[in-house]
Structure 1
Amino acid sequence: MVEANNTTVTLQVHRFTPRPERAERARGGSPFAKKSSPFGGGSDSAARRRPRGKQWVQEYTIPARPSDTVLDCLLTIKRTIDPTLAFRYSCGHGMCGSDAAAINGTPTLLCTATVRDWAKQPSTAPEVDDEGFRRTGDETANEPDVPAENVENNITEGSLGVIELASLPGFPPQRDLIADIDPMLNQIRKLTPYLQADGVLATTAEGKMDVFEYLQNPEQLAKYETLSNCIACGVCEGACPVYAGGDAFVGPAALIWASRFINDSRDTKAMDRMDAIDTADGVAGCQSVRACSRHCPRGIDVGEEMWQIVAKVRER
């Protein structure tokens, strides 16, 4: 298929610039502002507080092809239009997970989202009805569809559509499309995300020491292999309506990492790991909404895995 030439896409970017931090008072601040205050104000709550700053929506219209990724478009803006636009990326191939953001309100990776899949044509229907109420999805469903030839004409005339971008939901923004995912990473670290084996040296059939291997059969590997693909991008947590920075719920990413080692036959701390997540903000916080499964870039059925680990913890 030959792609249309001379086409453009419009990116509506929700931008954020944090307010500069205030300098400490010359006399050391208030003597009553202790970190151990029962009313909060400690270093942990300060780190989780949503930063204050300037927020606005900025539009960029740039040349683009349907096969371009949203990351390609942002790089074009950064290099040719606005060098102040901030976003995070690394590998650009959906392997590192560093460029997670909200596209049209949906958490996903910028480098795997194409203009073809995410650009939407502006609706011709009014957003409010005659009485001033916002139109719902059911009402707009009865509107006549835009003929396919009209959509093709729009592309031919140059407009591929509009894409709305914002930082990853559930995390405080740092700048523009960059979210602070440290709360998620800290929750993962608390659950000791590394193999804890018994340290007993294996032996070969001849009775010799086999220092370097903890052998597994294919069935044992299959129990956790898919879970080991998690790249801690935060997409599942951004989609979770319960997670909000790890305060009330540890989050699906941390539970996936815990489940990966609980299901590993080489690990000897499965019971300790299940005790660690059997808390009010652990498995008890999961409401089984399964929104976390919608756009996992590594193909993990997060909702199903969450159900499995919750059942295993309760049945132990």
Structure 2
Amino acid sequence: MSGGIDNGMTTVTLRVHRFTPRQERERDRARGGSPFAKKSSPFGGGAARRRPRGKQWVQEYTLPASPQDTVLDCLLAIKRGVDPTLAFRYSCGHGMCGSDAVAINGTPTLLCTATVKDWARRPGAAATADDEGFRRTGDAAEAGSPAPEAEGPEPDGAQDAVGADGSLGVIELSALPGFPVQRDLIADIDPMLDQIRKLKPYLQADGVLATTAEGKVDVFEYLQRPEQLARYEMLSNCIACGVCEGSCPVFAGGDAFIGPAALITASRFINDSRDTATEARLDAIDTADGIAACQSVRACSRECPRGIDVGEEIWQLIAQVKER
């Protein structure tokens, strides 16, 4: 961790929405999900989307930090030296694995790429809407720590960096929206991964081994031109972090929507010139719970850590389905 945590010159307060699940009783397991839940969708629903029950509370941690520290740095300092019971998920710590997605000040993003200077908010700061009318959602404003604008953290110098008491401000943390909470900041993203798997996220060729006129294996069978590679290259950067799904008002609403992450995976192979299952892939997403459920809000594009314009890609899928 950088110098701020060692010298103690400045501090930051993390306001963490914590959750401890209640031990499941035998009759709860036998009963399963709600009898009124939609179970006919091929993309989920039922017991997998149940809201876990347990103890919920908000806990504040004030600790030394510098503006350059990441929120993950701060959580690790708490975990190792203050409260070992605090639960969160992380792996690479460099924005490549996507495992540490949470809601910071109500906005889905990655812990390892969020810095204190960008996300700490001084109490009393005003929350304003951006040019598209987006504002942060969540409990930050009610708790006295107004949320930032929806397009991301404010630029350097947008607010006073350090208060008179040496505080950098307050950062509010909660589990990724749209998913069941397992414990504290850990969300159960299995529903998203199951939806991705259902769309067969792998290259499907015709299985026929290409040969040359001399009967030898054609090693150039799957070579692509630069323009063919460009059609799906950005989409292959998706790390399945769930940020787009946590931002999506349709997915977070609890409906059996396939979700933007699965649609991006489908688009990656639909746009691959080597794949021969385009029609089957379009059929799979051309359902009431597929692209028809997308409301084109495009909130899914706003915080993608890999820079994918998720909303535009989904719109292109919609156009492809309609043009068939």
TM, length-normalised to structure 1: 0.83
Match of 1:17 in 2: 20
Q: Secondary structure at the match of 2:172?
A: strand
Among 161, 175, 196, the alignment partner of 1:188 is: 196
Match of 2:51 in 1: 50
Q: Tell me, in whole angstroms, the C-alpha distance in 2 between the residues paired with 1:306 and 1:19.
A: 38
Q: Would you say the 8 A contact 1:183–1:245 is kept in 2?
A: no
Shift of 1:210: 2.9
Aligned residues: 289
Q: Secondary structure at the match of 1:271?
A: helix
Q: Tell me, in whole angstroms, the C-alpha distance in 1 between the residues paired with 2:69 and 2:91.
A: 17
Shift of 1:106: 0.2
Q: Tell me, in whole angstroms, the C-alpha distance in 1 between the residues paired with 2:285 and 2:246.
A: 20
| Gap runs ≥5 in structure 2 | 127-141, 147-156
Q: Tell me, in whole angstroms, the C-alpha distance in 2 between the residues paired with 1:21 and 1:222.
A: 49
Which amino acid counterpart does residue 62 of structure 2 have in structure 1? Answer: T
Q: Tell me, in whole angstroms, the C-alpha distance in 1 between the residues paired with 2:104 and 2:23.
A: 28
Match of 2:309 in 1: 301
Match of 2:271 in 1: 263
Q: Would you say the 8 A contact 1:288–1:307 is kept in 2?
A: yes
Shift of 1:199: 1.9
Q: Tell me, in whole angstroms, the C-alpha distance in 2 between the residues paired with 1:160 and 1:209.
A: 64
Match of 2:163 in 1: 154
Among 219, 222, 236, the alignment partner of 1:214 is: 222
Shift of 1:224: 0.5
| Gap runs ≥5 in structure 1 | 126-133, 138-147
Instruction: Show the 5 A alignment for 1:276-315.
Output: 276-315=284-323
Match of 1:59 in 2: 60
Q: Would you say the 8 A contact 2:34–2:46 is kept in 1?
A: no
Q: Tell me, in whole angstroms, the C-alpha distance in 2 between the residues paired with 1:14 and 1:163.
A: 11
Q: Would you say the 8 A contact 1:202–1:214 is kept in 2?
A: no
Q: Tell me, in whole angstroms, the C-alpha distance in 2 between the residues paired with 1:117 and 1:273.
A: 40
Match of 2:103 in 1: 102
Q: Tell me, in whole angstroms, the C-alpha distance in 2 between the residues paired with 1:224 and 1:18.
A: 40
Q: Would you say the 8 A contact 2:102–2:109 is kept in 1?
A: yes
Match of 2:180 in 1: 172
TM, length-normalised to structure 2: 0.81
Match of 1:86 in 2: 87
Q: Tell me, in whole angstroms, the C-alpha distance in 1 between the residues paired with 2:158 and 2:105.
A: 24
Q: Based on CA coordinates, which of the two structures has the bigger radius of gyration?
A: 1
Q: Secondary structure at the match of 1:210?
A: coil
Q: Tell me, in whole angstroms, the C-alpha distance in 1 between the residues paired with 2:275 and 2:57.
A: 49
Match of 1:234 in 2: 242
1:267-302 deviation digits (Å, cap 9, x = unpaired): 100000000100001010010000000110001011
Which amino acid counterpart does residue 7 of structure 1 have in structure 2? Answer: T
Q: Tell me, in whole angstroms, the C-alpha distance in 1 between the residues paired with 2:319 and 2:21.
A: 42
The CA RMSD over aligned residues, in Å, is 3.0
Which amino acid counterpart does residue 15 of structure 2 have in structure 1? Answer: Q
Q: Would you say the 8 A contact 1:121–1:160 is kept in 2?
A: yes
Q: Would you say the 8 A contact 2:162–2:169 is kept in 1?
A: no
Match of 2:122 in 1: 121
